[in-house]
Amino acid sequence: MIDLICSYALFASLMLAFAAYFVRCAFVGRPSSKRLEGVESTFLGHSIMEAAYWWFEPMVGFLRWLHVSPNMVTGASLLPLLGAAVAVALGHFGIAAVLAIAGSFCDLLDGVLARRQGTSSAAGEVFDAAVDRYAEFFVLAGIIVFSRNRLPMMLLALAALLGSFMVSYGTAKAEAMDVEPPKGAMRRATRSVYILCGMSFVPCWYAWIGVTWPSFLREAPLMLSLAVVAVVTNVSSIRRFYLTAQRTREPRIAPPLPPSTANQPVLVR
C-alpha cells in the first residue's frame, strides 16, 4: 500500500508542477536557459527539460543562500540513490521511485548551482562524472537483484546497464582521442527519466491487474522502460564508436611549425 501511495503522490506532484509551468508560460512566457541552447533530445522533449530547469530555480537560490557547495550536493545524491537500490531490490518500487527522484534532483542541481556560483571546475566535473556512474549502477543493480529469478527482466536490466556505460565510455573515448564526440540518443538524464517512470508505474500496475496475471508480466511497465533504454543505448553506443573511428581517419591539419622550419601545412593522417 505504501508503494501505491508513493506512486500516486509522485504523479500528483508532477501534475501540479506542470500546471504551475503552464500557468507561468501563459502569463509570463516560456522560460529559457542558456544551458539548453542547441540541446535537443529525441526521447525527452525540449519543453520538459525547460520546465525542469525552471523548477530548479527556487531550490538553487535556497542552496546559494545556505552557501552549499556543488560538490556537497553531488555527494548527497548518492544516499537516496543507494536507498532506492535497496528498496527496488526488495520489491518496493514506489519507495524506490521517490528516493531515486530525490537523488536525481540533487544530481541535476549540482551543475546548475556551480554555474550560478561561478565555481565550475574540471575537478568538479570529474567528481560529478564518477558519482553519475555509481548512481546509475546502484539503481540498475537493485533491479538486477530483484529480478534474479525473472530471467527476461534481468537480461533487460543487464543490457540497459551495458548500454548506459558504453554510451558514456564512447563519449570519453572520443574526447581522449581528440575527436569531437558524436551526438547520440538516450543521455543519462533521459535514461533516468525512463527507468524512474517504469518504477513509478509498477505499483499502479499491480493495483490494476491484481495477482491473476503471470508473474513475468507483473513488472511490465519497468520491463518496457528497460527495453527502450537497452535497445536505444546499445544502438547509440555502436553508432558513436563507428563515427569516432571514421573521424579518426579524417585528415587533420598539424599545428604550425616554428617560422624557421615552417613551409606549408602538413597533413596528418
Buried b or exposed e, range 231-268, using 16+ CB within 10 angstroms: ebbbebbebbbebbeebeeeeeeeeeeeeeeeeeeeee
pLDDT, tens digit only, all 269 positions of the chain: 788 888 888 888 888 877 887 887 877 777 666 555 555 555 555 666 677 667 777 777 787 887 788 888 888 888 999 999 999 999 899 999 999 988 888 777 777 777 777 777 777 788 888 888 898 999 999 999 999 888 889 999 999 999 999 988 888 888 888 888 777 777 888 888 899 999 999 888 888 876 666 666 778 899 999 999 999 999 999 998 888 888 887 766 555 656 655 455 544 44
Q: How far apart (Å, rounded) are the C-alpha atoms in residues 74 and 78?
A: 7
For residue 267, tell me if it sits in a domain: no
For residue 259, tell me if it sits in a domain: no
Buried b or exposed e, range 178-207, using 16+ CB within 10 angstroms: ebebbebebbbbbbbbbbbbbbbbbbbbbe
Q: Which residues contact 119 (CB under 8 A, 6 or more apart)?
A: 69, 70
Q: What is the CATH number of the domain that holds 15?
A: 1.20.120.1760
| DSSP assignments along 224-241, one per residue | HHHHHHHHHHHHHHHHHH
For residue 262, tell me if it sits in a domain: no
Q: How far apart (Å, rounded) are the C-alpha atoms in residues 201 and 221?
A: 6
Domain that holds residue 191: 2-247
For residue 266, tell me if it sits in a domain: no
For residue 174, the number of C-alpha atoms closer than 13 Å in the C-beta half-sphere is 22
The total of structural domains in the chain comes to 1
pTM of the model: 0.80
